[in-house]
Structure 1
């Protein structure tokens, strides 16, 4: 569920690296990764941990992680609203009943424990 996050991060990282006039190999050396890993990140094929993002931001001489990581966050949409978009009223009702009965069973089990 990245919705373009990793390709956008990779594009931004590649641009920043080129602006510094350093190679993928040089960047890899700064952060302790392989050149292939840097290439995969820049191509948007590899996910990056938060720790790696901080290391990359530092190696790219940035003042803030926000300069590297795209911060366009999609607004949270409750699952029921997302489900309702593609379901008819009977399906929505059936799903709501399943969820209610599941919660009732979970509460009953918790009370017995």
Structure 2
């Protein structure tokens, strides 16, 4: 819901700090977190029985689909929000990074096991 709300009408003082591509960085970090926490959540719900590979595919699919859906909704139902292909790209790259992080955490080099 917050993805469809405009904060530009609020009088927020951002000061003199100007970070280039800050919104793309935010999208990337949000979807990295989305994918990472989504995998852990699905692991907990299935007690690890779903399998790492299948979980990664499901979470990646839904993260990318959700990112595209939000951009489409911003384009169609809001008047003060803009849909951008750059946001979709940042979302997708962030989701892949989250999946990569999960794969690293549960790799053979690390002591964490996927299945309980």
TM-score normalised by structure 2 residue count: 0.25
Larger radius of gyration: 1
TM-score normalised by structure 1 residue count: 0.26
Determine which structure has greater relative contact order: mean sequence separation of CA pairs < 8 Å that are 6+ residues apart, divided by chain length.
2
